[in-house]
Chains A and B, each alone.
Chain A
Amino acid sequence: MKYETVIGLEVHAQLKTKSKIFCGCPTDFGGAPNDHVCPVCLGMPGVLPVLNKRVVEFAIKTGIALNCEIAHTTKFDRKNYFYPDLPKDYQISQYDQPICNTGHLTIKGRKIRIHRAHLEEDAGKLVHAGAAGLHGSDYSLVDYNRTGVPLLEIVSEPDIESPEEARQYLTELRNILRYIDVCDGNLEEGSFRCDANVSLRPEGQKELGTKVEIKNMNSFRAVQRALQYEIERQIIALDKGERIAQETRLWNEATGDTHPMRSKEEAHDYRYFPEPDLVPLVIDRNWVSEIEKTLPELPESRRRRYVDEQGLSADDALVLTESFELANFFDSTLKLGAPAKQISNFLLGPITAYLNEEKLELAQTKVTPENMRDLVGAVTSNVLSSTTAKQVLTELLQNGGSVKDIIDKKGLAQISDEAGLKDIVSKVLADNPSQVEEFRSGKTKVRQFFLGETMKATKGKANPQVINKLLDELLA
């Protein structure tokens, strides 16, 4: 039978505020264990939470970027469960009145709806001594540095149709969060975590099949692989006429499969009830408008502009907008009147290669948008060849400066002067009589050799068009 895949994703995005959601402790990753804690985030007797306004601002900002309705009144609730990494043995979260409702984001022209986004506090981290995990360890330690770090849980509608689309959704969501500067999207440090819900239904059937939740995926690739595995597992089961159990399964990166979490671990009744230590939050519309004004142009809008107005390919536009920094740099260069296509080629070609090679961010280099305008200008006006342009670019990336100064200092200006080049080409021909002989006997390929030798003699500065013209003359 043919099946349709239905996927929904839950993302926990860590909001990059300086302090935690309910106390003044720093949110920095790392630090000695239990260094970033205070009585409040340790859940000492008698402490009370005080909501960090910045966290609310970041949540609203995200809501706007994801086209959500921002709640007029929102509140916090206690989610009750016992676990050593949860100091109060309840998590302050939002149950039935999330701060953001019903939004969407667009990937490849398709709208993926956002169901809701709500705020909550993160838990701490268990460290199991004497073993890699709980099993076989002698004892466990708890590090509460992460406790109380603000999280925004962003829940999609089940609109995603394939593992590949899930990856695209995550890429775009992370990208948006980075554009609006609310989350650094670092999967390794856990600042962007994803759980997936997946179900299958016979093609054409309206009602959804039984959903399975998958956890423990630490990369976008893992999400894609886990979903792929899970879909195949469910197809096999359904084809055999088996029923899919509604359960939570854990992805195992090493073995490449999912296995059910013990039912004991998920048999929770969270007993949500409104957090009496916090008052309901009324969100001022003027505040929302002010936050809206601080939003930059988002990737989707930029992509449309690059394709429609600048004539870039959809693929180039996608890659350019995947980095907020690159897209901003590109836009600054455009504002200076530089041609889009050439700039894009530089950015996606040699510059990206250099950054990858050196493991650097664009901001860590010295190159400016003005430099790029001048560099492309110098190529267009034949002052630089593609070879010398690369040399100038490397100098710009490493040490900065002006394109003109670098050309002058390094003597890189292209030689287009016919009279001067004629001597050099004549010398090349004179030095290689056997090759001249070959050429004359019809092996015209040798022409490339003369070109290369001339370039060598001029350290790559000779204008190839002029050389060709001279070769035509002198070999005639």
Chain B
Amino acid sequence: MSSFEYHRPTSVADAVAALGGGDEATVVAGGMTLLPTIKQRLADPSDLVDLSGVGEMKGISEEGGAIVIGAMTTHGEVASNPVVQAKIPALASLAGNIGDPQVRNRGTIGGSVANNDPAACYPAGLMAMNATVHTNKRAIPVDDFFTGMFETALEEGELVTKVSVPVPDKAAYIKFPQPASRYALVGVAVAQTGGAARVAVTGAGQDGVFRVADAEAALSGSFSPDALDGVSVDADGLNSDLHGSAAYRASLVMTLAKRAVAAANG
């Protein structure tokens, strides 16, 4: 890989300043996607801005009915955090099943949402739970944040600083993992808050995470697996590859949605 300058700022302001210093400056959070990408020369940063020293981007707290998670909080920390386990067990479970233990010790929630991998778990979970992504500039509702495959609303010099997740009444995330990578072949998250249901799907869409309006309408009437009988998603626009056809993924979406509702109902 090519040589680069390394920076380890200790504040968001210094991180943003360091990002502005190089032609191809990039941030590294946990590096679980970025390092493999650099090794493959798909990324060739001039400057690497390591966010691991930014204390204000770490930690988990409960604020006004929401769980607020610092961007540099690892999947392992979310999975094992007592507040997350108590308030949003579905989120703890989601984080605890990403990748493998070594990946969960490095990978972060901020890195995952900023990367918006079309098969990542967090985008589906956060979209179903109607989270808000906070940056150094603004607060972005999750529906506006994820804009396409590996695409987000983040602008140049904008960093995810924390993610705020409203505590749902009920939620669950079920993934059908691709057995080699453990990424979601399809993953479905459901959440119910005040009678309204949200359903978000990862792994299946060509444009990344998406919501299923018909399923949400059905579940908002009756939050039960049976309510999804007769609801389907169109295979057009879904991914098709050697691991599964678009039709198979479409079928998995509804199967997993039913299982997720059943799991959410406990």
A binds B: no
Give me the interface of B with A, judged by CB distance under 8 Å: none
Give me the interface of A with B, judged by CB distance under 8 Å: none
